[in-house]
Chain A
Amino acid sequence: MSTSTAVSLNKPATAAGRGRYSIAKTIVIVFLSILVVTQVYPLLWLILYSLKTNEEILSGSFFALPHAPQWSNYSAALEGNYFRYLLNSLFVTSVTMLTVILLSSLCAYAISRFRWRYGQVVMLLFLVGMMIPMQATLLPLMIIFKNIHVLNTHLSLILPYVAFSMPIAVFILSGFMKTIPHEIEESAVMDGANIGRIFRSIILPVSVPPVMTVCILTFINIWNEYILAATFISSEKLKTLPFGVNSFVSQYSVNYGAIGAFLVLGALPVIIVYFLLADKITQGMVAGAVKG
């Protein structure tokens, strides 16, 4: 009896609640959509900008569409060394990623599974390194690289890129490898497999998900890195994309449309990758943030 009263008393309340709920929901959706506009519109604006003439940019309105798309801005931009920069970035980033995966998975395996005295010390070293900002090593690395004659080569970028990607890679990989069941390795040992073979045929294949995370983190960080590239590289033909974009923009300071086009082209590769792998990238970056 008492329960049925409670239910009937509750009914109008929920109905009223639902009415409020839908108003609240509308407000929330408006608010969240405004955020989409503020986050995405600057990029759309850039695309419009890149298709306008200088006159349209200087006198026109910020939301006006270009009268006729100025594709010549893009050809002007491509006359800069866009493809050269792109290739350099591809080369530097992929070599860095491969090296990071190989070396840090070996190290992470040793830390998480081998019985040796200094495993925790090595791990601690990586944890401390996570907190060291890359730019603090800028000056000394510059001097060291100059002395060993690797300044102004891709190696001078790959070495620090690899080193600064390692802590988080080792952290993520060793965290995962600790959870692999020991029985798998035991049976492999029984079957006479040596440690190299266990690593190659068992550990690496099951570690694909964290390796993907490391790949994504390394890719985003290294692909976008600017300051080391701008400091260590001076030859035009060795510049990576962010550095190239910046030098193009500084050189063509009055050809606004071409600058816009170059910025669009500069953002394009990473945006394409993001469209293909959005979920993986967001998950990977969240996993990468969890390092404090």
Chain B
Amino acid sequence: MNVLKVSRLTIAAFVLPCLIIYVGIVFVPIMVSMYSGLLDWNGIGESKFIGLDNFRNLFFHDPVFWPSVRRTLMFSVFSMAEIPIALLVAILLKRYIRRPNFLVSSYFLPVILSVVVVGQLWKTIYNPASMGGMLNQVLEAIGLGSWAHAWLTEPSVAMYSLYFVALWQYLGYHTLIQYTGILNVPEEIYEAAKIDGADGFAADRYITFPNIIPIFKISIVLAFIGSLQAFDMVMVMTGGGPAHATDVISTHMYNMSFLSMKYGYGSSIAAFLVILCLVATFLINLIFNKLEKRFS
């Protein structure tokens, strides 16, 4: 007997409670959202079916939409750019530090904090020096006062300030993931390589790197999903302003639906977001399947 044979009723009792909540809260709303994307509706009153008009407006007539898509993607690019740094930190931790627990837990500390705490903390840090903002005070103290900015209210720098907070918060997460990956590479491979003359960074190039490609995938998926969760951070820190300079896809969706009361239009953005997520995950998986084949 390999697998239990049980009655349909038993299966239903085990599976249905979970499945009903899950499908009802995740998939049904997505379907509703796909349909509402086809409506001209403010969320309360009468709705009118307008076909793909919302999508047409979104793609061709919305000056905020494409920049917000670009910023969302840039958010993932910046988060992914952090992965090599995390890998370097992880390699150094493994090679030089015998008891890394303190370091690892310090790096990880920001990861467990709520976006609200992190966002409000950084808002305070980014404040002008006259309002007690740490960053500008530090710049003045080291003689770089001319670099001081109104970090969150100048349209040209606001978005970079937000990227940076995300990098700060998640560096520890990526480092820990890479570090765990490196620890799982069998020590015998390194020893064998040492005999063949590969040591230090050569060993990393030929052993560590190919062996943790699956870990890169995890980090990249995480960076991508994290960049979508940038929603909370943007809402807490700027709400998409000044003048849409920090709008990402989801804040645009939120502002359209709840502030401009264009519920149908907001739903079409939500539908776009879901499709973008599924396509991106599919692509990441495809690329990494190829990479893993090439390196193994």
Interface residues of A (CB under 8 A from B): 24-25, 28-29, 31-32, 35-36, 38-40, 42-43, 45-46, 49, 57-58, 60-62, 103-104, 106-107, 109-111, 113-116, 122, 125-126, 128-129, 131-133, 135-141, 143-144, 159-160, 162-164, 166-167, 170, 182, 185-186, 195, 220, 223-224, 226-227, 230-231, 241-243, 245-246, 249, 256, 259-260, 263, 266-267, 270-271, 274, 278-279, 281-282, 285-286, 289-292
Q: B76 in the interface, Cβ–Cβ < 8 Å? A: no
Q: Interface 1/0s, chain B 105-124, versus A by CB < 8 A? A: 11111111111110011101
Residues of B within 8 A of A223 (CB): 114
Residues of B within 8 A of A282 (CB): 104-105, 108, 176
Q: B10 in the interface, Cβ–Cβ < 8 Å? A: yes
Q: B166 in the interface, Cβ–Cβ < 8 Å? A: no
Residues of A within 8 A of B250 (CB): 133, 135-136
Decide if A135 touches B231 in the complex (CB within 8 Å).
Answer: yes
Complex alpha-carbon distance, A271 and B111, angstroms:
11
Q: B156 in the interface, Cβ–Cβ < 8 Å? A: no
Residues of B within 8 A of A166 (CB): 18, 21-22
Within 8 A of A (CB), among B101-145: 101, 103-117, 120-122, 124-125, 130-132, 134, 137-138, 141
Known: A36-B106, A223-B114. A29 touches B96 (CB 8 A): yes
Measured CB to CB, the nearest residue on chain B to A45 is B134
Set A103, A160, A266, A279: member contacting B25, Cβ < 8 A: A160
Interface centre among B8, B33, B110, B112, by most chain A C-beta atoms within 10 angstroms, is B112
Decide if A289 touches B222 in the complex (CB within 8 Å).
Answer: yes
Residues of B within 8 A of A49 (CB): 124, 132
Set B25, B97, B114, B284: member contacting A267, Cβ < 8 A: B114
Interface residues of B (CB under 8 A from A): 1-6, 8, 10-11, 13-15, 17-19, 21-30, 32-33, 36, 43, 89, 92-93, 95-97, 101, 103-117, 120-122, 124-125, 130-132, 134, 137-138, 141, 168, 171-173, 176-177, 180, 217-222, 225, 228-229, 231-232, 235-236, 250, 253-254, 257-258, 263, 266-267, 270-271, 273-274, 277-278, 281, 284-285
Residues of A within 8 A of B108 (CB): 278, 281-282, 285
Complex alpha-carbon distance, A76 and B177, angstroms:
40
Decide if B228 touches A139 in the complex (CB within 8 Å).
Answer: no
Residues of B contacting A: mostly: helix
Residues of B within 8 A of A24 (CB): 96
Set B96, B138, B274: member contacting A28, Cβ < 8 A: B96
Residues of B within 8 A of A182 (CB): 1-2
Set B25, B28, B43, B97: member contacting A32, Cβ < 8 A: B97
Decide if A139 touches B33 in the complex (CB within 8 Å).
Answer: yes
Decide if B29 touches A140 in the complex (CB within 8 Å).
Answer: yes
Complex alpha-carbon distance, A223 and B112, angstroms:
10
Set B8, B36, B111, B218: member contacting A290, Cβ < 8 A: B218
Residues of A within 8 A of B273 (CB): 133, 135-136
Decide if B254 touches A138 in the complex (CB within 8 Å).
Answer: yes
Complex alpha-carbon distance, A12 and B91, angstroms:
27
Set A32, A114, A133: member contacting B14, Cβ < 8 A: A114
Known: A62-B138, A122-B19. A57 touches B132 (CB 8 A): yes
